[in-house]
């Protein structure tokens, strides 16, 4: 195995000869390109303005010294005068006698690019080049080098790293530092003996002056040794905190490191607020400007979320029954709208009974954990939705994950598990990431032959699959699973989950399903809007047909651009592969006016990142054709 070398990557940026910013990393060779890019980006985006000269230097660090980060303490003060007095006091405590005079020296250090090196007792200036001063350089926090993790722009960690190196330099008895950032008034005094003492106010806000003073005590002939350590010795600092926590509070550090790793892997997620109701188009903030974009990422497939009949029902129910339900379904949380919706769902699905949950997620968790417990076995398709996976985990049952859609493997593994008390097979009806459909007739036959419970999650099937949107049973014209799970939050444009089946099973769920028993019932507005949406769907089956026609049209357009995709539902996946590329493609599409989701690990497997397009019945052919063309341009 060849050894991985480390490199020091150093960036200095200036404008008209004036220093703008500087930073450095020590990283292993595999991370050098990323470090160079990150530092270049940092130089170009500095708030002090854009530089006209960026110098990035990559060199072997030579022998490395590892140091433990100085402990951090915070001194709260309210004025700059108070802060400077506190700094002088701390220096005095550290054995530096002429502290006030040293603080006065600060005025001169402001114009310097490096630090002032001063004899702690005689206050004589010791740096060979007084214009330039002394620079502490060649250092980094340990995890950057060891874990290959970039802390990004963590000024605090960088400050502690620098102070730690300086405090450990031969002959240095202390350091005083004030930032040159006009908006940043916090400074510090540091020494090996007192650690890193943050002082919350060291200058007036708006003052661009800052600088540092290194205090030296020792023979003159050793000054050179001190400077060599500061400027040439490579140092790795272990345990530098990324935020100024109180002493001992390092718990946030691990969190910051993990977030950095997520960021680096292209897996960071954040919320984007829509500035309008959902619909085939919506208003979003794109790079700071409000724009109306075509939404190809919403599960509101039939455009019911903003339908006046649906929103009107929610408003009326809020007035009639209140906003919240005030209790779990088994206490005070059942009102006529809840009972009416359960009856309507059962009728729509052709089942004896239905049970409502606050979300589809809770419905899956509730059903799987109620049907299976310790000693039982759950058989779960490898591409099942996260809520099914979580239900399996919470159930305490043994879990057998079978290959996606492989009914032969399912049959074999069911047969092998015969002796077990209860066997439950659970599958998405429409798989939420690939948009393909479960072969329900075969699935049911395998379950029946092995006397196993069959559970099918129709979250993406309800309102989409089957001529009138009733789901897989309608599509295949076959029998029913023991339990059908669904949600009101997708094609029905509302909110809440459900399970339905025979009365005996639903009664069992009411007694055994913990998310039903121990969580507040959804409020009447959500419930009434769900029922109104179901009524619209029953009255207007043309919406389902329009959706299907749009999907077929969109697939045809993609094929015309040689983009491979297929779908049996409203979900069209275009596989991109690399996580960062998928995110870049989605960003490019947004700038072109199309909101499309980049789906990444852990939602799908690593390296199987994709653009996931959700088609709506209300999209126009023009919108879909333009979207397909844009995907061909940006996605591939
Ligand atoms: C969205 C989804 C759920 C969860 O439904 P919510 O109502 O959003 O909680 C469950 N299963 C599948 C397959 C889904 O796609």
Number of other CB atoms surrounding residue 478 within 10 Å: 16
Which of 461, 610, 626 lies closest to 553 in space, CA to CA? 626
**Predicted confidence band at 180 (pLDDT cuts at 50, 70, 90)?**
confident
Q: What is the pairing mode between strands 609-614 and 597-599?
A: antiparallel
Residue 124 Cα to ligand 1 midpoint, Å, equals 71
**Measured on CA atoms in the order 588, 591, 592, 596, is the torsion positive or negative?**
positive
What tens digit of pLDDT does each residue of 364-374 get? 999 999 999 99
Contact 380, 406 (CB under 8 A): no
Given the CA of residue 431, which atom of ligand 1 is nearest to it?
13
Q: Is the CB of 489 under 6 A from ligand 1?
A: yes
Segments in 118-177 forming alpha helices (H) = 142-146, 155-167
d(CA 226, CA 218): 10
Q: What is the pairing mode between strands 453-457 and 423-428?
A: parallel
Q: Is the CB of 458 under 6 A from ligand 1?
A: no
Give me the pLDDT at residue 245, please: 60
Give me the pLDDT at residue 207, please: 84
Given the CA of residue 430, which atom of ligand 1 is nearest to it?
13
Give me the pLDDT at residue 636, please: 61
Instruction: Give Cα separations from 608 to 485, 501, 581, 604, 636 (angstroms).
Output: 27, 35, 11, 6, 14
**Predicted confidence band at 410 (pLDDT cuts at 50, 70, 90)?**
very high
Secondary structure class of 289 (helix, strand, coil): strand
Q: Is the CB of 456 under 6 A from ligand 1?
A: no
**Is the pLDDT assigned to residue 243 strictly greater than 80?**
no
Instruction: Give Cα separations from 104 to 87, 94, 126, 304, 492 (angstroms).
Output: 12, 18, 17, 70, 71
| Protein residue with least CA distance to atom 5, ligand 1 | 360
Q: Which residues of 427-463 are buried (b: 16+ CB within 10 A; e: fewer)?
A: bbbbbbbbbbbbbbebbbbbbeebebbbbbbbbbbbb
d(CA 277, CA 521): 25
**Predicted confidence band at 250 (pLDDT cuts at 50, 70, 90)?**
low
Residue 487 Cα to ligand 1 midpoint, Å, equals 6
Q: Is the CB of 459 under 6 A from ligand 1?
A: yes
**Is the pLDDT assigned to residue 314 strictly greater than 70?**
yes
Residue 48 Cα to ligand 1 midpoint, Å, equals 47
**Predicted confidence band at 21 (pLDDT cuts at 50, 70, 90)?**
confident
| Protein residue with least CA distance to atom 1, ligand 1 | 459
Given the CA of residue 361, which atom of ligand 1 is nearest to it?
9
Q: Is the CB of 84 under 6 A from ligand 1?
A: no
Q: Which residues of 341-369 are buried (b: 16+ CB within 10 A; e: fewer)?
A: bbebbbebbebebbbbbbbbbbbbbbbbb
Write down the mean pLDDT value for the chain.
91
Contact 212, 230 (CB under 8 A): no
**Is the pLDDT assigned to residue 177 strictly greater than 60?**
yes
Q: Is the CB of 460 under 6 A from ligand 1?
A: yes
d(CA 281, CA 295): 5
Give me the pLDDT at residue 97, please: 86
Residue 389 Cα to ligand 1 midpoint, Å, equals 12
Give me the pLDDT at residue 419, please: 73
Q: Is the CB of 427 under 6 A from ligand 1?
A: no
What tens digit of pLDDT does each residue of 130-141 get? 888 898 999 988
d(CA 181, CA 226): 27
Residue 221 Cα to ligand 1 midpoint, Å, equals 73
Residue 616 DSSP one-character state: -
Q: Is the CB of 432 under 6 A from ligand 1?
A: yes
Q: Which residue among 383, 484, 487 is best mutated to probe the pocket of ligand 1, counting the most ligand atoms within 8 A of its Cβ?
A: 487
pTM for the full predicted model: 0.66
109 vs 548, which has greater pLDDT? 548
**Predicted confidence band at 2 (pLDDT cuts at 50, 70, 90)?**
low
Give me the pLDDT at residue 26, please: 87
| Protein residue with least CA distance to atom 14, ligand 1 | 459
What is the rounded average pLDDT of the residues 619-632?
97
Q: Which residue among 404, 456, 489 is best mutated to probe the pocket of ligand 1, counting the most ligand atoms within 8 A of its Cβ?
A: 489
Given the CA of residue 495, which atom of ligand 1 is nearest to it?
7
Q: Is the CB of 361 under 6 A from ligand 1?
A: yes
Contact 629, 561 (CB under 8 A): yes
Residue listed under structure tokens 């450095």: 24
Secondary structure class of 135 (helix, strand, coil): coil
The number of helix segments (H) and strand segments (E) in the chain equals: 20, 25
What is the rounded average pLDDT of the residues 194-216?
90
Give me the pLDDT at residue 153, please: 57
Counted residue by residue, the chain has a size of 636
What is the rounded average pLDDT of the residues 500-518?
97
Q: Is the CB of 431 under 6 A from ligand 1?
A: no
User: What domains are defined for the chain?
Assistant: 6-62 (no CATH), 65-264 (no CATH), 281-295+542-634 (3.90.1150.10), 308-537 (3.40.640.10)
What tens digit of pLDDT does each residue of 47-94 get? 777 899 999 999 988 888 999 999 988 898 989 999 999 999 999 988
Q: Is the CB of 366 under 6 A from ligand 1?
A: no
What tens digit of pLDDT does each residue of 288-306 get? 889 999 999 999 999 999 9
**Predicted confidence band at 151 (pLDDT cuts at 50, 70, 90)?**
very low
User: What is the SS3 assignment for 438-466?
Assistant: CCHHHHHHHHHHCCCEEEEECCCCCCCCC
| Protein residue with least CA distance to atom 15, ligand 1 | 432
Residue 464 Cα to ligand 1 midpoint, Å, equals 14
Residue 569 Cα to ligand 1 midpoint, Å, equals 15
Residue 418 Cα to ligand 1 midpoint, Å, equals 30
Q: Is the CB of 462 under 6 A from ligand 1?
A: no
- The H or E element containing residue 595 is strand 594-595
Residue 536 Cα to ligand 1 midpoint, Å, equals 21
Q: Which residues are catalytic?
A: 432, 460, 490
Give me the pLDDT at residue 538, please: 97
Q: Is the CB of 494 under 6 A from ligand 1?
A: no
| Protein residue with least CA distance to atom 6, ligand 1 | 360
Number of other CB atoms surrounding residue 114 within 10 Å: 22
Give me the pLDDT at residue 247, please: 45
CA geometry: angle 110, 112, 117, nearest 5 deg: 95
Q: Is the CB of 387 under 6 A from ligand 1?
A: yes
What is the rounded average pLDDT of the residues 249-277?
77
**Surface-to-core class of residue 181, CB atoms within 10 Å of its CB (0-12 exposed, 13-18 middle, 19+ buried):** middle
- The H or E element containing residue 213 is strand 211-216
Secondary structure class of 89 (helix, strand, coil): helix
Residue 457 Cα to ligand 1 midpoint, Å, equals 8
Give me the pLDDT at residue 316, please: 98
Q: Is the CB of 359 under 6 A from ligand 1?
A: yes
d(CA 24, CA 56): 9
Give me the pLDDT at residue 148, please: 40
Least confident of 406-415, 541-550, 595-604: 595-604
Q: Which residue among 434, 488, 490 is best mutated to probe the pocket of ligand 1, counting the most ligand atoms within 8 A of its Cβ?
A: 490
- The most confident of the ranges 86-100, 230-244, 553-567 is 553-567
Least confident of 94-103, 163-172, 319-328, 607-616: 94-103
What tens digit of pLDDT does each residue of 572-619 get? 999 999 988 999 999 999 999 999 999 998 888 888 899 999 999 999
d(CA 503, CA 506): 5
């Amino acid at each position: 195995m060849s050894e991985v070398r480390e490199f020091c990557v150093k960036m200095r940026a200036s404008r008209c000869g004036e220093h703008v910013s500087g930073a450095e990393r020590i990283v292993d060779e595999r991370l050098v390109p990323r470090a160079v890019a990150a530092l270049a980006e940092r130089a170009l985006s500095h708030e002090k303005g854009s530089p006209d000269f960026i110098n990035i230097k990559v060199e072997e660090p030579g022998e490395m010294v590892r140091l433990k980060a100085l402990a951090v303490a915070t001194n709260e003060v309210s004025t700059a005068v108070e802060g400077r007095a506190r700094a002088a006091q701390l220096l005095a405590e550290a054995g530096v006698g002429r502290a006030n005079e040293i603080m006065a020296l600060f005025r001169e250090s402001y114009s310097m690019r490096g630090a002032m090196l001063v004899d702690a007792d005689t206050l004589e200036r010791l740096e060979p080049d007084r214009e330039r001063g002394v620079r502490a350089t060649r250092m980094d926090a340990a995890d950057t080098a060891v874990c290959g993790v970039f802390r990004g722009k963590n000024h605090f960690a960088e400050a502690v790293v620098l102070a730690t190196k300086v405090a450990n330099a031969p002959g240095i008895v202390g350091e005083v530092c004030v930032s040159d950032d006009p908006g940043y008034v916090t400074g510090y005094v540091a020494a090996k003996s007192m650690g890193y003492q943050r002082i919350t106010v060291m200058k007036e806000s708006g003052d661009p002056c800052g600088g540092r003073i290194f205090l030296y005590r020792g023979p003159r002939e050793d000054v050179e040794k001190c400077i060599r350590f500061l400027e040439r010795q490579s140092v790795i600092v272990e345990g530098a905190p990324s935020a100024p926590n109180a002493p001992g509070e390092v718990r946030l550090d691990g969190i910051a490191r993990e977030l950095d790793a997520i960021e680096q892997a292209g897996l960071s997620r954040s919320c984007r607020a829509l500035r309008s109701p959902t619909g085939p188009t919506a208003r979003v903030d794109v790079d700071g400007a409000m724009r109306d974009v075509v939404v190809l990422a919403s599960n509101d497939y039939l455009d019911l979320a903003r339908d006046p009949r649906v929103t009107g029902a929610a408003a009326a129910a809020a007035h009639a029954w209140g906003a919240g339900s005030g209790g779990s379904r088994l206490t005070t949380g059942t009102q006529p709208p809840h009972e009416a919706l359960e009856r309507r769902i059962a009728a729509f699905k052709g089942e004896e009974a239905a049970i409502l949950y606050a979300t589809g997620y809770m419905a899956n968790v509730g059903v799987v954990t109620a049907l299976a417990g310790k000693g039982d076995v759950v058989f779960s398709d490898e591409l099942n939705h996260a809520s099914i996976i979580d239900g399996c985990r919470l159930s305490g049952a043994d879990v057998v994950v079978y290959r996606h859609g492989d009914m032969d493997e399912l049959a074999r593994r069911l047969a092998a598990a015969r002796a077990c008390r209860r066997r439950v097979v659970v599958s998405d009806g429409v798989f939420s990431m690939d948009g393909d459909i479960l072969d329900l007739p075969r699935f049911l036959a395998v379950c029946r032959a092995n006397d196993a419970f069959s559970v099918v999650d129709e979250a993406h099937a309800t309102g989409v699959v089957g001529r009138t949107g009733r789901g897989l049973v309608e599509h295949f014209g076959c029998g029913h699973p023991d339990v059908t799970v669904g949600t009101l939050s997708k094609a029905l444009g509302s909110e809440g989950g459900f399970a339905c089946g025979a009365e005996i099973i639903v009664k069992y769920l009411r007694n055994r399903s913990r998310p039903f028993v121990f969580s507040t019932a959804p409020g009447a507005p959500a419930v009434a809007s769900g029922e109104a949406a179901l009524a619209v769907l029953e009255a207007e089956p043309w919406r389902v047909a329009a959706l299907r026609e749009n999907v077929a049209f969109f697939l045809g357009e993609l094929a015309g651009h040689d983009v491979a995709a297929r779908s049996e539902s409203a979900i069209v996946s275009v596989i991109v592969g690399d996580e960062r590329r998928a995110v870049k493609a989605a960003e490019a599409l947004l700038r072109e006016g199309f909101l499309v989701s980049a789906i990444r690990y852990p939602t799908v497997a690593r390296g199987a990142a994709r653009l996931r397009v959700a088609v709506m019945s209300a999209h126009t052919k023009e919108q879909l054709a333009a979207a397909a063309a844009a995907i061909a341009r940006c996605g591939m």
